[in-house]
Amino acid sequence: MTGSALTFPYEAFAPRDGLGFGYREILGYGREYTPALALRANAEVVSVLFAEWVVAGPVGALLALVGVGAFLRRADPNWSPEFTDAQTRAVLAGLFVSVVAGNVYFWGNLNILGDLADPADGLVDTLGPYYHFDLLVPTAAFAAHATVLGFDRVRARTTRTVRPRATLAAVAVVGTLLLAGAAGGTLAPTLAENAEITGAYEQSYQPLEDRDLSNAVVFLPTPYGDWLNHPFQHLRNDPGFDGEVVYAMDGPDTAEVAAEYPDRTYYRYVYRGEWTPFLGQSVDSALREVRVVRGDSVGVGASFGVPDHADRVSARLSTAEGASYYAMNGTGNVSLDLRVANGSARVVGSEISPVGENGSVPVDSDDEVLLQVFVSDAAGGGFSYRLELPVRDDDGELVALSPYREACFVADECGGEAAYVPGAVPSGVHVETDIYSSASESDS
């Protein structure tokens, strides 16, 4: 996968994301990770762990401290060569040192905090201090050890009372209630928050659950760069890339992917909004069937809704090789054709005309043709439609796939987070497309 048996995937895409102090970087974000910053960040992470994420929260952490103290007080330094129960406990207790000290050397604990001044910022707020989760088991074990020791001590002191069984039962009930209350108080907010996050994920993935995807290829957006499973960890390929569903990145290479899987049904998963289910916020999503057409020429018939308040409509057609601009005659709904043939693309229609030259742009043998329709109003606002048409030359025959469609009201959301989803856009905003070729009838 990486070209070298000694280069792991994580190192391949983030070689500066590793252990040690100094400059560290991942996905274009970098920091100078100093020992002082490391100690500050890890102190905060450890405090979050023992206050919110261990069993019974601070009560559990205090009990674990008592359990470790009791073990150290009774530990015999002259252990036998055999691995005894005491040595097992020593290894377990040693994790508190090794895990905490070892994580100081890794800048990832700084990243999960986000802004150090904001305790609700960063992944630690929802996923917890996951680099320190190795301490959950030893904390629970020593907390249980302290609880048992405390119960034994109470039982020893009540053996001489008139009704020892009743006393022990009362102590057990009170202790259980106290621990249960502490655990419930700690876990309830976290469980409720993560249940909300789970619901957001379920809603975001719902279109994929509602369809029979047997023998299918599903194209996925790439909000975090050119790789799969980030952030769509739920959508995984079988190792042989030959499962009932094959997931692939959406973009200019979709026609090539379709050629590798010629006998499958194609879909495109799209969503509208920022992908933040991990914050309990779902997106408006949809699963669109993708059609493939072949011929000497290919095209897309498109119609765009223009709200009544619009006063100007224009368009831009572009590829990697250049761009052309078009003016619209009037401000009503727009209908046009995007055509690709003979190594170039152009837009034609009764209500549209090129600005300057003939309006064509060159198209490479494996390209993506981008059409943007800009809708403006006198108040200075407006929005744009966006169509991305993957086109590929296959031995002289053009292959095209149904275009990806967007309605962009915020520029930063264009290109992945502004998919056109009916019902999730204002009234009067709509886009319909038909893909066709010279060798076939039009397909929606």
Return the domain boundaries, the chain: 9-158, 206-288, 292-443
Count of C-beta atoms within a 10 Å radius of residue 52: 18
Low-confidence residues in the chain, pLDDT < 50: 441-444
pLDDT of residue 443: 46
**Residue type for 59, please?**
V
- Give 393's Cβ-side CA count (13 Å radius): 12
pLDDT of residue 175: 63
pTM of the model: 0.75
Please tell me what DSSP assigns to residue 273. Answer: S
Q: At what angle do helices 164-209 and 57-74 cross, to 10 degrees?
A: 120
Strands (E), 173-321: 216-220, 245-249, 265-272, 284-290, 292-295, 297-304, 310-319
Instruction: Quote the radius of gyration of the chain (alpha carbons, Å).
Output: 31
**Residue type for 147, please?**
T
Residues 6+ apart with CB under 8 A from 347: 315, 317, 324, 326, 336, 337, 338, 339, 354, 359, 371
**pLDDT more than 70, % of the chain:** 89
Cα–Cα distance measured from residue 49 to residue 124, given in angstroms and rounded to the nearest whole number: 9
Query: What do you get for the CA distance between the two ends of the chain, in Å?
Result: 37
The 10s digit of each residue's pLDDT in 196-209 is 888 888 999 999 99
pLDDT of residue 172: 64
pLDDT of residue 444: 42
Task: Give residue for tokens 């290829």.
Answer: 217
Instruction: Tell me how many degrees the CA angle 109-115-120 measures, rounded to the nearest 5.
Output: 90
pLDDT of residue 413: 86
**Residue type for 125, please?**
D
Residue of 308, 317, 295, 257 lying closest to 393 (CA atoms): 295
Asked if 321 contacts 364 with a C-beta cutoff of 8 angstroms, the reply is yes
pLDDT of residue 341: 95
What token pair was written down for 269? Answer: 């998963």
Residue of 250, 382, 286, 403 lying closest to 339 (CA atoms): 403
One-character DSSP codes across 119-155: TT-STHHHH--GGGGGGHHHHHHHHHHHHHHHHHHHH
pLDDT of residue 250: 93
pLDDT of residue 12: 83
